Amino acid sequence: KRFREPKEERRPWRIWFYDTSKQAIGALFIHFANVFLSDLTEEDPCSLYLINFILDATLGMLLIWLGVNVVSWVVQRQKYTYLVFGEYG
């Protein structure tokens, strides 16, 4: 994925690694949480896993989007320059 970014806008390796490892850790966490939750029910574990995944991919993304927008608004309003999303100094 890194090589598909325009060469003049490409992130340094360290920042690219931080971004991708954060996504991988989140994916692993939600996967193991879904597996654990699917074992707690008498229902078909695969269907519960699918429901949890769909809720995470829709409602979870909506909540993250709202959170990022709220934090971005606060950062811009309070002029917290060190907390701007995507700016790594």
Say which residue, 37 or 77, is predicted with more confidence: 77
The structure tokens listed for 71 are 């934090």
Q: pLDDT for 38-75, tens place per residue? A: 777 777 878 887 888 888 889 989 999 999 999 999 99
Question: Residue 6 region, left (φ>0) first, then alpha (ψ -120 to 50), else beta?
Answer: beta
Q: What is the pLDDT of residue 83?
A: 82
- In a 13 Å sphere around the CA of 28, the CA atoms on its Cβ side amount to 6
Percent residues over pLDDT 70 in the chain: 98
Q: pLDDT for 7-45, tens place per residue? A: 888 888 888 898 889 889 988 988 888 788 777 777 787
Q: What is the pLDDT of residue 89?
A: 62
Report the distance separating Cα 40 and Cα 30, nearest Å. 16
